[in-house]
Structure 1
Amino acid sequence: MTPVSLPAADELTVAGRRVRCRIEGAGPSVVLLHGIGRTLDDFTAQRDLLARDHRVVSLDLPGHGGSAPLDGPHTLPALARAVAEFLDAAGVTEPAHLVGNSLGGAVAMRLAADDPFRAASLVLVNSAGFGREVTVALRLLALRPLGRLLLRPHPAIARRTELAIFHDPAYATEERIAHALAVARQPHAARVMLELVRSLGTVRGVRPQWREELLGAVSALDIPTLVVWGDRDLILPAAHLVAARARLPKARTHLFPDTGHMPQIERAAEFHRLVRQFWSGPGAG
């Protein structure tokens, strides 16, 4: 497989750190937050659709893709603070629609809980935070020294990871596999991934302490929330949507059939329609 670099993007310097980002369109602000070990490119289709009438802001989280790592440990609160600093630097001073996939959903919730004014709404896409169960591939990363071995850049590992993310294997394209390999080859990628995995979970699964605190804080907020899931998710099971309904009873929910961990890619048009309808509803505009 021919090595590739990350796709071209914008760049901002925030608190002395390089942040790879894309800022497009005009209108109400939308912030797109990707999952662990991923990049802003997971939202390319949605960015293109939403930028027609929104100001769409997406970024590589600290230590992911082309963004420099933090000086201190990479934890959920640290990522949320870094996103807040980035939004200030990008001129997003009004409440924005926060859209987060996987870890990005937990970052969005943490950001909203810490500073509710920043969130006009929450769209949580197969989000971390609603249950203990998580793919064994992530649980094994908590084991030393196995974690670093599993994170070595290798085409077979990149291919297996992409195939696990999508229900339809056609989405695990050679381009996406090459991109995943380029991400894994970033000098800070393995360290950041291990710090996050070990702060959020153990070999037994996602830690309950941070989940309970975060969901308690978010449930107390008066922020319109949409939670969506793919029914064939192999990373975070769709049963977590049941937990989301119980913990966030005011939230709207939607289950995409025959869909994996990234409905924003596998069901791009339907996802876009659903989100736009949610935002046009009472209280979410």
Structure 2
Amino acid sequence: MTLALPPADELTVAGRRVRCRIAGDGPPVVLLHGIGRTLEDFADVHAGLARDHRVLAVDLPGHGGSTPLDERHTLPTLAAAVAEFLDAAGVTGPAHLVGNSLGGAVAMRLAADGPHRAASLVLVNSAGFGREVTFALRLLAVRPLARLLLRPHPAIARRTERAIFHDPSYVTEARLATALAAARQPHAARVLLEVVRSLGTWRGVRPEWRAELLDAVAALGLPTLVVWGDRDLVLPTAHLSYARSRLPAAQGHLFRDTGHMPQIERAAEFEALVRRFWSPRGDAGPA
């Protein structure tokens, strides 16, 4: 198994290396991955969307091939770093923000802090809609266990990947190699722990930042689509109902027999869904 991140583009932003993938022309689309992950989680839909959009996927600071920040990695600092990346890439107007898991919360924070940057939100099994989260992430708040759980070991990577997908065939050698390459970056464990501990405790996700963020997003009135996989083992499907109650104007969609990453397990359906949502009619179809 060759442990290396797949080829991608690179920008220098505020003196930091930012690994990204930019392709296509048209309205801008920004793809934001989850905690401990990389932009490869959107590789299956990137090329399709780039047929008629300018699609920008980025490794968040301290993730994958992107240099960590000089300050602590929290939701506001990650969102601010994405804003700097967009400025460096020449995207200064509204973009369609698409975020999976932590990336969904980053997308919401980015929109709340800079409403001019957001044309719409697509929140994919997004953090921010409930206290419940996989036990593995809650354990990372327990200091004696964290370093042990974050060892870049093939067995740990395989177990993590297996928890993300409902269909085990998506746990490929290529995905395992990417996960291990990202985990072996010298700063990876530190960054992940900073993010986890800023957002939650061993009891679950903190309510304070969630309430403030959802109030701010609801006030924006942005076109919003919230999608979930019904077999998600990381963030439970019940969060979709809560999202609809907190963002009553949002559209919702539940993918059957799908885990934490519908953009991979249901790539073609996911692309079709967001295209309908972005269409002039703006209707993603039946919930």
Matched, 1:200 2:203: no
Residue in 2 aligned with 1:95?
Answer: 94
Q: Any idea what SS the aligned residue of 1:81 has?
A: helix
The one-letter amino acid paired with 2:205 is V
> What pairs with 1:239-278 in structure 2 (closer than 5 Å)?
239-278=238-277
For residues 93 and 48 of structure 2, what CA distance do their matches in structure 1 show?
21
Matched, 1:44 2:43: yes
For residues 88 and 2 of structure 2, what CA distance do their matches in structure 1 show?
32
> What pairs with 1:135-150 in structure 2 (closer than 5 Å)?
135-150=134-149
For residues 271 and 10 of structure 2, what CA distance do their matches in structure 1 show?
26
Residue in 1 aligned with 2:155?
Answer: 156
Residue in 1 aligned with 2:110?
Answer: 111
For residues 88 and 102 of structure 1, what CA distance do their matches in structure 2 show?
24
In structure 1, stretches of 5+ residues that fail to align are: none
For residues 148 and 170 of structure 1, what CA distance do their matches in structure 2 show?
29
Q: CA deviation at 1:141?
A: 0.3
Residue in 2 aligned with 1:188?
Answer: 187
Residue in 1 aligned with 2:57?
Answer: 58
Q: CA deviation at 1:63?
A: 0.2
The one-letter amino acid paired with 2:268 is A
For residues 155 and 200 of structure 1, what CA distance do their matches in structure 2 show?
27
The one-letter amino acid paired with 1:156 is A
Residue in 2 aligned with 1:124?
Answer: 123
Residue in 1 aligned with 2:34?
Answer: 35
Q: Any idea what SS the aligned residue of 1:19 has?
A: strand
Q: How many residues in Structure 1 have an aligned counterpart in Structure 2?
A: 283
The one-letter amino acid paired with 1:256 is F
Aligned structure 1 segments of 4 or more residues deviating by more than 6 angstroms: none
Residue in 2 aligned with 1:20?
Answer: 19
Q: Any idea what SS the aligned residue of 1:180 has?
A: helix
Q: Any idea what SS the aligned residue of 1:220 has?
A: helix
Identity of aligned residues (%): 79
Q: Any idea what SS the aligned residue of 2:121 has?
A: strand
The one-letter amino acid paired with 2:72 is P
Q: Any idea what SS the aligned residue of 1:210 has?
A: helix
Residue in 2 aligned with 1:179?
Answer: 178
TM-score normalized by structure 1? Answer: 0.98
Q: Indicate if the aligned counterparts of 2:104 and 2:123 stay in contact, CA closer than 8 A.
A: yes
CA deviations on 1:151-190 (whole Å, 9 max, x unpaired) are 0110000000000000000001111111111111011100
Q: Any idea what SS the aligned residue of 1:145 has?
A: helix
Instruction: Give me the CA root mean square deviation.
Output: 0.9
Q: CA deviation at 1:283?
A: 6.3
The one-letter amino acid paired with 2:140 is L
In structure 2, stretches of 5+ residues that fail to align are: none
Residue in 1 aligned with 2:6?
Answer: 7
Q: Indicate if the aligned counterparts of 2:276 and 2:282 stay in contact, CA closer than 8 A.
A: no
For residues 221 and 215 of structure 1, what CA distance do their matches in structure 2 show?
10
For residues 163 and 149 of structure 2, what CA distance do their matches in structure 1 show?
15
Matched, 1:209 2:212: no
Q: Indicate if the aligned counterparts of 2:44 and 2:267 stay in contact, CA closer than 8 A.
A: yes
For residues 147 and 2 of structure 2, what CA distance do their matches in structure 1 show?
21
Residue in 1 aligned with 2:229?
Answer: 230
Residue in 1 aligned with 2:278?
Answer: 279
Q: CA deviation at 1:222?
A: 1.8
